[in-house]
Amino acid sequence: MEAVVNGAFERLKRTILHIQEFTMLSYRGFANLLSRPRYWQDTFDMMDVMGVGSLTIVCLTGLFTGMVLTVQSSATLDAFGARPYVGRMVSLSMIRELGPVLTSLMVAGRVGSGMAAELGSMVVTLQIDAMRALGTDPIRKLVTPRLVSGVIMVPVLTVLSDAVGMLGGYLVARFTLRLATEFYWHSAIDAIKMEDIIMGLAKPFVFGYIVVAVGCYLGLSTRGGTQGVGESTTRSVVMASVLILASDYFLNLLILHFVYP
Amino acid sequence: MSPVVPVISFRNVFYAYPEAEEYALKNITFDLPIGGTEIILGGSGSGKSTILKLILGLIKPESGSIEIGGVEISRMEEEELMSIRSKIGMVFQEGALFDSLTVAENVGFRLREYEHLSEGDVEERVRAMLGFVGLEEFYDRMPSELSGGERRRVAVARAMAHQPELILYDEATTGLDPITASTICDLIVKLRDLEGVSTVLVTHQLRDAFQIAQSFIFKRGGRTTYHRIEDLNALMGTEFMVLNEGEAVFRGRQKELWEAENDYVRRFLSR
């Protein structure tokens, strides 16, 4: 019995320690922006990797999500004779929920895992130690540029995904459901309010931070050689995805409470 | 008290890795005089590399004091340590070159970050360093295209690029063929004797350790000449330390090492 309690206590202690270290890494990652040196070139390079590199996958995700949303919702809406409202359904779902969440999940899989793997192998091959020995703070050089590009590029990708999703919805509405072009776009655009845009941009901002911070934290805390790198990579995707979905729920509550009238 | 401050001074240093039950280093005390060489021998996991990490301030001792050039570093913050590290170069196991940068960018890494040199000056210095290790033609290559020995030589060039007073070598010759290992040893001796760099060498390759201890190089009329001293009584400036499970079981000159009575030392030297 005592062993069980002790074990649980140890686990709790370790979890709290992880949270503390994660918070410290995030804090130092952003605080570094306030002082020199700042690695803008590295930041732009990361933005290129995250943004341009993820274009195809994010557009494809957005396109098919928009298309399937239209197909699915048209059946429901038809029951009420509300087919012309399909545009509204698609645009609001994409902007408020599916665009931010699916884009971030895709970026977590493609970029977050890559960061964990890259930083993890730098740890196990002593490159991080070498960087410190050469007088450069790895958090400033590696984490800060990634955090900045994460909180900028994930929202940008989300906007793109929203747009492509609405376009996908339009293609299905026009060519399968035989809905008039102006009906679809009217309904889609008119439905969007300022609050929806705030929600649609606040979420990917937070998710972008989660993807990068989790990837960097797990990468930098890698132990145990190449096997450890593999574990960190997998855990980064799982943990980032769970955190994105969980924080999405709470963000919804917060934004609905404070932003919506 | 000696009027000349040693480059490194360890006093009763203890260290344990996080979540480890045993100490990785127990009661380590030594001084390295300016221009001197400390060769740390020991099996895998004996705590050799830990000493180098402590010298760089990458980890902090549990207790005891570590002075670098007379400055106590064991309680320093990361930012303060940066100025200490500017005096130290380190050659890591297997080189630890940055995979994403070219050879030239690796060697010039610190110069670009801190020394505020113009791009032309950095290039000139990088070429000179690569010339010193005999790899000028590798300027634009990526580390993945290099052999093990070439990686170590680039790592030596990177460690010396900012002209440090002290260079630390972590298993610089391990895993290399005898000829390549010998080239690296010559480089270490060259840096020590021609540039006056103090040296800490961690290794379990006895042959290389003795080659470094027994060779010296001097320059006469623009020519460098290698010498090997066979009389162990005449050897000066090189101290050996043998570590076993974190404890220094021997410290002294090469001659004393051969005469040591300690069981572990005798087994280590296969006597």
Q: What is the pLDDT of residue B229?
A: 80
Summarize pLDDT for B228-256 with one digit per residue, the tens. Answer: 887 777 677 888 999 998 889 888 888 88
For A39, the closest chain B residue by CA position comes to B113
A221-235 confidence digits (pLDDT tens): 998 888 999 999 999
Chain segment B97-149, per-residue pLDDT in tens: 999 999 999 999 988 887 777 888 889 999 998 988 888 899 999 999 998 88
Residue B2 reports pLDDT greater than 60: no
Q: What is the ipTM of this complex?
A: 0.87
In this complex, how many residue pairs, one in chain A and one in chain B, have their CB atoms less than 8 Å apart?
49
Residue B239 · residue B252 · CB < 8 Å: yes
The confidence band for B3, taking pLDDT boundaries of 50, 70 and 90, is low
Q: CB contact, 8 Å: A13 with chain B? A: no
State percent of chain A over pLDDT 90. Answer: 73
Residue B167: pLDDT band by 50, 70, 90 thresholds?
A: very high
Is residue A207 predicted with pLDDT exceeding 70?
A: yes
CB of A195 within 8 Å of a chain B CB? The answer is no
Please name the member of A37, A132, A136 whose beta carbon is closest to the beta carbon of B58. A132
Q: Does residue B17 belong to the interface with chain A, where contact is any CB pair within 8 Å?
A: no
For residue B1, name the pLDDT band (cuts at 50, 70, 90).
very low
Q: Please check whether residue B82 touches A, CB under 8 A.
A: yes
CB atoms B92 and A126 under 8 Å: yes
**Most confidently modeled range among A73-77, A157-161, B66-70:** A157-161
Rounded to two decimals, what is the model's pTM? Answer: 0.87
DSSP B195-262: H--EEEEEES-HHHHHHHHHEEEEEETTEEEEEE---GGG--SEEEEEEETTEEEEEE-HHHHHH---
Average pLDDT over chain B, rounded to an integer: 87
B78 touches chain A (CB under 8 A): yes
Per-residue model confidence (pLDDT) at position A139: 93
Which has more pLDDT, B235 or B188? B188
Instruction: List pLDDT tens digits, range A188-204.
Output: 898 899 999 999 999 99
Hey, which of A236-240, B7-11, B176-180 has the most confident mean pLDDT?
A: A236-240
